[in-house]
């Protein structure tokens, strides 16, 4: 059996951009490092996949024990298919140079139905390409195929404790028509990908919105390195689609933009800040905002957004506080919801907030979108502000720090604090906790929380100085 050329993930990479596929296969050393956020997402996929197997109990798992052991996995899958074994997990097969592992195959009415599991709340076009490729390979491998389904997470599912109610946790969507309709596209896409890989040089493909969708490409460090700093393509405050549309219309650099473009106040703030290399401030606006604030109540939260809810009363991806630092100026509380979650972390967090006198404060300041939505839900009578959103807003814009909006990292970039060598961002902390929950109980982790709180307060002092 010849070694496969493509897998499901490399095929999808090629659907996004043929150059990305070529570089991945031939120049992998040019790849950027995966961010902690991307790695966290990847881990989430595995957990949901294992849960979906329980919907089809008694199956045989054919996943190779090692990436090089795929031949054995294929043999096992073929034997199970020939014997019409009722359920196969990770059915591993190869055809037309592509190796696939179908999440679940179920024998039904003399054909095989396939189920692709996704740890997301919605179906998108790339998922349809993904399942269509697998269906294509299974057909080419001689498997009599039946229906094609996507199993994804139901956003309305409410966890009530105990075992997950699988029938309600998953949504089953019949995508057989879409999959059948895409089979010709898959064949021609596959031909293009295989042809590109025969070439001596990488294809000449320019940067564009495809660098961001459906996934941020991990060759951006390479492909974007010669893009001028004042290129419209590098703006943060407008969408990639809009940036490249403007470039198409002839507006390549910031200086090409016209008064109409600057009606977007956020874009105006970004360009003012980045062209001068210093923060842009609308003093009246910022002064007014600061005047409206009473003594802020500081909250830094490490929150998890699990696809599979752990806490009764929560839904998939609802932020759950794992650990937090609270400060109201004089008093600081650092707490950790115990790893085993033997007490409801929401109750622990609310107790801490009240014991730190949250009732005496009108405005809660936090950092990051997860914490923002969590606090808005738990304290609807308070005003909640995301400090990090202030830093890149129409009234205040810093010309750095967008990439990893973590208070400590930002404070270090602003020269307010040192960054110790072992500095980790919130996403990295979350990843450490996900890999080893014991990390949450370390002193080092408590220090991180306390430093993040101090970082938020020093950033706030810096903002105050800007109106004087």
Q: Name the residues that contact ligand SF4, by CB under 6 A.
A: 17, 19-20, 23, 205, 207, 210-211, 217, 219-220, 223
82: nearest Cα among 66, 93, 90: 93
- How far, in Å, CA of 365 to CA of 300, rounded? 8
**Is the CB of 244 or the CB of 324 nearer to ligand SF4?**
244
Q: Which lies closer to ligand SF4 via its Cβ, residue 211 or residue 375?
A: 211
Q: How far is the CB of 14 from ligand SF4 (least distance, A)?
A: 10
Exposed, middle or buried by CB within 10 Å (0-12, 13-18, 19+), for 115?
buried
User: Where does 353-435 show beta strands of DSSP type E?
Assistant: 363-366, 383-386, 392-393, 396-397
Shortest Å distance, C-beta 209 to ligand SF4: 9
Taking the complex as a whole, the smallest distance from the CB of residue 224 to ligand SF4 amounts, in Å, to 6
CA distance 37 to 41: 6
Residue 269's CB is within 10 A of a number of other CB atoms, namely 23
Decide whether 17 or 336 has the Cβ nearer to ligand SF4: 17
Give alpha helix (H) positions in 101-156.
125-140
Nearer to ligand SF4, 17 or 62 (CB): 17
Q: How far is the CB of 126 from ligand SF4 (least distance, A)?
A: 14
User: Where would I find the beta strands (DSSP E) of 292-414?
Assistant: 297-304, 320-327, 332-336, 363-366, 383-386, 392-393, 396-397
Nearer to ligand SF4, 212 or 460 (CB): 212
**Torsion sign across C-alpha atoms 284, 287, 293, 296:** positive
Least distance CB 254 / ligand SF4 (angstroms):
21
Q: Least distance to ligand SF4 from the beta carbon of 195, Å?
A: 17
Q: Token match 């199993």: residue?
A: 151
* Shortest distance (Å) from residue 207 CB to ligand SF4: 5
Nearer to ligand SF4 by Cβ, of 66 and 201: the residue is 201
Nearest-angstrom CA–CA distance, 404 and 38: 13
Q: How remote is the C-alpha of 96 from its chain's centroid?
A: 32
Smallest separation, CB 305 to ligand SF4 (Å): 27
Neighbouring residues of 247: CB distance < 8 A, sequence distance ≥ 6: 231, 232, 233
Q: How far is the CB of 29 from ligand SF4 (least distance, A)?
A: 14
By beta-carbon proximity to ligand SF4, the closer residue of 173 and 220 is 220
β-bridge partners, 115: 104, 149
Check: CB of residue 92 under 8 Å from CB of residue 63: yes
Helices within 31-163 (DSSP H only): 36-53, 70-82, 125-140
Q: Which is nearer to ligand SF4, 181 or 228 (CB)?
A: 228
Of residues 19 and 274, the one with the C-beta less far from ligand SF4: 19
What residues does 297 pair with on adjacent strands?
Answer: 364
Q: Could you give phi then psi for residue 190, rounded to 5 degrees? A: -60, -45
Task: Please say which residue, 205 or 412, places its beta carbon nearer to ligand SF4.
Answer: 205
For the bound state, the minimum distance from the C-beta of residue 120 to ligand SF4, rounded and expressed in Å, comes to 21
Which SS3 state, helix, strand or coil, does residue 89 take?
Answer: strand
């Amino acid at each position: 059996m010849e070694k496969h050329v493509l897998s499901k993930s490399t095929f999808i990479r090629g659907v996004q951009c043929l150059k990305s596929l070529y570089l991945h296969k031939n120049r992998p050393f040019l790849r950027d490092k995966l961010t902690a956020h991307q790695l966290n997402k990847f881990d989430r996929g595995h957990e949901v996949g294992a849960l979906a197997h329980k919907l089809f109990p008694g199956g045989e798992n054919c996943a190779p024990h090692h990436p090089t052991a795929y031949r054995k996995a294929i043999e096992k899958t073929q034997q199970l298919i020939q014997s019409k074994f009722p359920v196969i997990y990770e059915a591993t097969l190869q055809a037309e140079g592509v190796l696939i592992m179908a999440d679940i195959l179920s024998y039904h009415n003399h054909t095989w139905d396939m189920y692709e599991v996704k740890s997301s709340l919605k179906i998108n076009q790339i998922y349809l390409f993904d399942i269509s490729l697998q269906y294509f390979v299974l057909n080419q491998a001689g498997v009599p195929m039946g229906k094609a389904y996507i199993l994804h997470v139901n956003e309305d599912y409410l966890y009530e404790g105990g075992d997950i109610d699988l029938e309600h946790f998953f949504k089953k969507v019949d995508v057989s028509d879409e999959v059948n309709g895409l089979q010709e596209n898959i064949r021609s896409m596959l031909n293009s990908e295989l042809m590109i890989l025969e070439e001596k040089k990488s294809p000449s493909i320019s940067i564009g919105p495809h660098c961001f969708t459906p996934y941020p490409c991990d060759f951006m460090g390479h492909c974007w390195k010669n893009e001028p700093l004042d290129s419209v393509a590098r703006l943060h405050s407008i969408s990639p689609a809009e940036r490249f549309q403007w470039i198409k219309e002839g507006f390549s650099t910031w200086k090409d933009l016209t008064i109409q473009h600057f009606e977007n106040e956020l874009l105006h703030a970004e360009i003012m800040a980045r062209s001068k290399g210093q923060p842009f401030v609308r003093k009246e606006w910022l002064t007014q905002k600061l005047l409206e604030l009473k003594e802020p109540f500081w909250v830094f939260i490490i929150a998890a957004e699990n696809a599979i809810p752990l806490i009764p009363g929560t839904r998939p991806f609802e932020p759950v506080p794992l650990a937090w630092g609270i400060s109201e100026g004089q008093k600081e509380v650092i707490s950790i919801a115990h790893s085993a979650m033997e007490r409801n972390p929401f109750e622990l967090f609310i107790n801490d907030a009240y014991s730190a006198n949250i009732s005496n404060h009108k405005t809660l300041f936090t950092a990051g979108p997860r914490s923002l939505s969590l606090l808005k839900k738990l304290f609807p009578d308070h005003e909640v502000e995301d400090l990090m959103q202030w830093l890149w807003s129409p009234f205040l814009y810093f010309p750095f720090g967008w990439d990893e909006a973590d208070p400590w990292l930002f404070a270090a970039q602003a020269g307010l604090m040192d960054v110790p060598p072992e500095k980790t961002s919130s996403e990295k902390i979350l990843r450490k906790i996900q890999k080893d929950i014991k990390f949450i109980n370390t002193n080092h982790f408590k220090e991180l929380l306390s430093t993040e709180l101090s970082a938020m307060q020093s950033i706030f002092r810096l903002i105050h100085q800007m109106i004087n």
